[in-house]
Amino acid sequence: MRLTGGIFWTVAALVSIGPSFAISTGVDWFPLWAPPVVIALLGLWTVIVAVPRRWARWGWAWTGRELHVASGWLVRRHTIVPAARVQHIDVTQGPVERIFGIASLVLHTAGTANSEVDLPGITKATAEEIRDAIREQLTVDPW
């Protein structure tokens, strides 16, 4: 979360230099350095302060029969996914996740609203363990 946030805010600060230069050439009182510095400070606060707070308000638990995923600060969301309701399961890893040995477990259930439950930032072994436990509980018999 910190790495992707740091990359985003660095690019945003660098991109803001162009418009800042264009505005400062037309307006005498506008400082060229203001937008990139403000964006960089906002990015620093996000990476150093906001990311750990966001991470602390996120949690999950596998009970053996259902997956609980909770997150949020102002609006708290607690999602419960019974293993019997899962249609298919994905374990995904991007390049940064592979470097750090983590993965995301994505559960797909029936329905349109909230039919995908994402469990990011867990170890690959844990994701595969939960995937296998859920797969054992799924049946192919329609009755």
Q: What is the CATH number of the domain that holds 70?
A: 2.30.29
Domain boundary among 10, 30, 55: 55
Give the residue carrying structure tokens 């993965």.
103
CA distance 1 to 53: 11
Tell me what pLDDT residue 38 has.
Answer: 92
Whether 118 and 76 share a structural domain: yes
Our count of domains for the chain comes to 2
pLDDT > 70: percent of the chain: 96
Q: What does the mean pLDDT of the chain come to?
A: 87
CA distance 113 to 119: 17
Q: Is 52 helix (H, G, I), strand (E, B) or coil?
A: helix
| Among candidate residues 15, 78, 16, 2, the one with its CA nearest the CA of residue 44 | 2
Whether 46 and 66 share a structural domain: no
Q: Which domain holds residue 7?
A: 2-55
Asked if residue 143 belongs to a domain, the reply is no
Whether 28 and 98 share a structural domain: no
Band the pLDDT of 142: cuts 50, 70, 90: low
Tell me what pLDDT residue 49 has.
Answer: 92
Asked if residue 99 belongs to a domain, the reply is yes
Tell me what pLDDT residue 115 has.
Answer: 84
Whether 63 and 109 share a structural domain: yes
Q: Are 68 and 82 in contact (CB under 8 A)?
A: no
CB atoms within 10 A of CB 86: 20
Whether 128 and 73 share a structural domain: yes
Tell me what pLDDT residue 143 has.
Answer: 57
Whether 27 and 72 share a structural domain: no
Whether 132 and 66 share a structural domain: yes
Whether 32 and 92 share a structural domain: no
Whether 87 and 114 share a structural domain: yes
Determine the average pLDDT of the residues in 108-130. 87
Whether 65 and 7 share a structural domain: no
* Dihedral sign computed on CA atoms, order 40, 41, 44, 49: negative
User: What are the tens digits of pLDDT across the range 9-23?
Assistant: 999 999 988 888 877
Whether 30 and 68 share a structural domain: no
User: What are the tens digits of pLDDT across the range 22-76?
Assistant: 777 777 777 878 888 999 999 999 999 988 888 888 899 999 889 999 988 889 9
| pLDDT at residue 127 greater than cutoff 90 | yes
